[in-house]
Amino acid sequence: MFLHCFGYGIKNLLRSRDYLFWSLGFSIILATLFHVAFGDLSKGEGFIPIPTAVVLEESCPQPLKDVLDTLGEPGDGQLLEIQYASQEEAESLLKGKKVSGILFVGENVSLSVSGDMTYDKLNQSILQSLAESLHGSYEAVSEAAARSPEKLPQILAALQKDAAHNQEINYAGRNLDEGLTYFFNLIAMTCLTGSTAGAVTAAASQANLSELGKRKSVTPGKKQVRILAEVAATILMQFFAVSISVVYMWAVLGVDLGSSAGYVLLTVLAGSMAGVSGGFFAGCIGKSSIHVKIGVLMAITMLCSFFSGLMVGGMKLLVQRYAPWFNRINPAALISDSLYSLAVYESHTRFFQCIGGLFIISALFILAGAAMVRRQRYASL
Amino acid sequence: MSQPIVKIENVVKRYRELVALDHFNLQIEEGEIFGLLGPNGSGKTTTINCILSLLTYDKGSIQVFGKEMRPDSYESKRQIGVIMQNVAVFDELTVYENIDYFCGLYIRDKKTRRQYVEEAVEFVGLQDFSRFYPKKLSGGLLRRLNIACGIAHKPRLIIMDEPTVAVDPQSRNKILEGIEDLNKQGATIIYTTHYMEEAEQICSRIAIMDKGRNLALGTKEELKQMIKKSEGISIEILNLEERHIAELRALKHVYEVRYANHHLEVLCSGGAHNLSRVLEYLQKEELPFGRVYSELPTLNDVFLEITGKELRD
């Protein structure tokens, strides 16, 4: 029964013009418009070191200072263009837009950036990631030192030599054209449009929501198996639709999505799962008509995309400053951040964190939805 | 005596304050075309949904094929075909694919399934439309597809919930003929309708429902014998005095005489030759009259007499 329902689920979606438009056509049209708006992305610049003011506090441990010096060393791997300064001088440099941010390095590592969120946001984002990374590493060293103070010199020496430490904050030197983030967000939005198909799948499976659901509910065989097959078919179709859009962006529009095609497809799969499962969950709640649910889901998709920066470039950073937890549960932000991590970082730590988040969100939605549709008899239809 | 194919005992179903089924009892025997007749809102669809275990009920029990019906009664469900009141098919699948999809939920063997689907397509007369999408079908053809989806797996019990609503007369006749054919092939059929003509035409037994209660049960002849009226005579007549009306009322077997708008209506209970007696009286009184109709009681008369309202009120 699984294969029977799965096969017909695919066939059904393949012929649905509405579905194909929203999952494929719409994203291709938008991508083309973005391409026209942002120009030829293939002519992107190489990585330019980020002008950064560093305020060294007395408590700054030498290993951290050494790491900063390494990051500021001229050459291919140069990440920062460091100006050591007092706090007043640094603030003056930031005010005059001579630097992208100020790193305060002492017992803690903190970052200060311009209040104008539309200013130099890509560099600010990189600096924020760098500050978090340095701070995290320092905390780990402090904790280790507290447990075994006699070993502190060796630990610090090890940190200084630890190449892995710098890999996390080493950037791939790839094209960091700001327009690329709009394409990442577009891919995220396209993944999430699968929520409408997820909602339709849920509605078509329940006797209290549709005539089709009623007819299916009187057939023999386990309801969960049938629903699982239909949700799996919807996820697969969404994955294919978004993958086609991604291939179009890469092959036709020349959008540089990095060299890790497998990871990009993994992101598309995780994103499609999150979108479809979110829609499936919403489709299982309440008895509102499917049209109302689709309307609400489209609104949520656009809202998530807005907060991840589809319409306003600096939005994700703004959210990161005032409500960082939202970026960790917003699937659009997680999808675009995964793609961003692939394009920017050599390390895949952040990428897998985002992908993990997406899989967790998907699993929660599917489990919650499945728990709701377990019900097989209704008080009213 | 064989056990009933469906046995409903003392079922009560409430929608908050509204009692949809009020201590409802019913037994349906194998091989019947059983009609559930009642106006809209009388509880027919609720009965069907309770039989299919789609709805919870507050009291009573329902057995199908001698076993209590539950949502996981897969063996029983395998032998049931359902045709819902509203068309339930996929718009993006063709006629053939729709039937194949639903048949596939019952029949695993592909070869058998192909054979069953082709037979179902032929049975409902959709051979020329098997590659059509539902949107391209007329209302009548769509209803036939809806039926094919419910019967393709050759069920032993077929439940049809008002399958002819909003169907043109030609398709309706085709559907009714099809139901009789299915019954001849051995299927037991539960047929809900508010069209008394349909119930009279095809049902071997009928239950009349109203407000969730089973008001009367029997063959159409048995139901008609339950009421006082055995013949209704209508005559167009220009002038009639009160004296004539009183004298007509005094004729043998006549129990009601009404006259309004030059239209005389005489209701008789039992007996024979009622029409000739009335006409003889009119000729004797030299009263000129126009068209004459004589009607035997209908199920609507039965419903009217039992509930005091028309079936389609």
Per residue in A72-111, pLDDT tens?
888 766 778 888 888 888 888 888 888 888 888 887 788 8
Nearby residues of A96 by Cβ (< 8 Å), 6 or more positions away: none
| Residue A286 confidence (pLDDT) above 60 | yes
| Residue A40 confidence (pLDDT) above 60 | no
Q: What is the pLDDT of residue A165?
A: 40
CA distance B11 to B213: 10
* B86/chain A closest Cα distance in angstroms: 7
Q: What is the pLDDT of residue A132?
A: 76
- When mean pLDDT is compared across A251-255, A272-276, A299-303, B108-112, the lowest value belongs to A251-255
| Residue B300 confidence (pLDDT) above 50 | yes
Q: How confident is the model at residue B259 (pLDDT cuts 50, 70, 90)?
A: very high
Q: Tokens 């019990």 map to which residue?
A: B157
CA distance B104 to A3: 10
Q: What is the pLDDT of residue A162?
A: 42
If you average pLDDT over residues B53-82, what whole number do you get? Answer: 93
For residues A155 and B228, which has the higher predicted lDDT (pLDDT)? Answer: B228
* B252/chain A closest Cα distance in angstroms: 53
CB-CB neighbors (< 8 A) of B90 in chain A: 8, 12, 212
Q: Shortest CB distance from B84 goes to which of A4, A214, A380?
A: A214
CA distance B17 to B15: 6
Per residue in B190-231, pLDDT tens?
999 888 888 888 999 999 999 999 988 999 888 888 887 778
| Residue B153 confidence (pLDDT) above 90 | yes
Cβ atoms of A270 and A192 within 8 Å: the answer is no
CA distance B95 to B129: 7
| Residue A151 confidence (pLDDT) above 80 | no
CA distance B286 to B238: 12
If you average pLDDT over residues A44-62, what whole number do you get? Answer: 77
Distances (CA, A) of A179 to A39, A244, B173: 9, 20, 65
CA distance B258 to B249: 9
Q: Tokens 């056509």 map to which residue?
A: A25
Q: What is the pLDDT of residue A139?
A: 67
- When mean pLDDT is compared across A28-42, B98-112, B136-150, the lowest value belongs to A28-42
* B269/chain A closest Cα distance in angstroms: 44
Q: Shortest CB distance from A218 goes to which of B82, B90, B93?
A: B82
Q: Shortest CB distance from A378 goes to which of B54, B90, B108?
A: B54
Please give the sequence-ordered ranges of beta strands (E in DSSP) within A106-163, or none if there are none. Answer: 109-113
Q: Shortest CB distance from A381 goes to which of B54, B106, B149?
A: B54
CB-CB neighbors (< 8 A) of B155 in chain A: none
CA distance B127 to B121: 6
What's the mean pLDDT when you consider all of chain B?
Answer: 90
Q: What letter does residue A346 receive in the DSSP assignment?
A: S
* Element housing B64 (H / E): strand B59-64
What's the mean pLDDT when you consider all of chain A?
Answer: 82
Strand pairing of B289-295 and B231-237?
A: antiparallel
How much of chain A exceeds pLDDT 70, in percent?
83
Cβ atoms of B151 and B107 within 8 Å: the answer is no
Largest CA distance in chain A: 76
| Residue B12 confidence (pLDDT) above 50 | yes
Per residue in A190-215, pLDDT tens?
999 999 999 999 999 888 889 999 99
Distances (CA, A) of A316 to A246, A266, A346: 22, 22, 22
The token pair at B126 is 């959709």
Chain A residue with CA closest to B54: the answer is: A377
The token pair at B61 is 């029990």
Nearby residues of B156 by Cβ (< 8 Å), 6 or more positions away: B5, B65, B79, B80, B186, B187, B188
- The CA R_g of chain B, rounded to the nearest whole Å, is 24
* A99/chain B closest Cα distance in angstroms: 58
- When mean pLDDT is compared across A29-38, A360-369, B20-29, the lowest value belongs to A29-38
A→B contacts (Cβ < 8 Å), by residue, are: 1, 4-5, 8, 11-16, 207, 210-212, 214-221, 226, 376-381
Q: What is the pLDDT of residue B112?
A: 95
* A215/chain B closest Cα distance in angstroms: 7
Q: What is the pLDDT of residue A154?
A: 60
A188-213 burial: b if 16+ Cβ within 10 Å, else e = bbbbbbbbbbbbbbbbbbbbbbbbbb
Contact A376 B71 (CB under 8 A): yes
Q: Which residues pair with B192 in a beta bridge?
A: B36, B161
Per residue in A102-146, pLDDT tens?
888 887 788 887 766 555 667 777 787 777 777 766 666 666 666
Q: What's the predicted TM-score (pTM) here? A: 0.75
Contact B77 A11 (CB under 8 A): no
Contact B90 A212 (CB under 8 A): yes
Q: B50, B65, B105, B113: best mutation site toward chain A, by most A Cβ within 10 Å?
A: B105
CA distance A99 to B82: 73
State the amino acid at position A28 in one-letter form: I
If you average pLDDT over residues A257-270, what whole number do you get? Answer: 89
Q: Shortest CB distance from B93 goes to which of A12, A220, A221?
A: A12
If you average pLDDT over residues A283-287, what whole number do you get? Answer: 87
A46-80 burial: b if 16+ Cβ within 10 Å, else e = ebebbbbbbbbeeebbebbeebbebbbeeeeebbb
Q: What is the ipTM of this complex?
A: 0.83
Q: How confident is the model at residue A296 (pLDDT cuts 50, 70, 90)?
A: very high
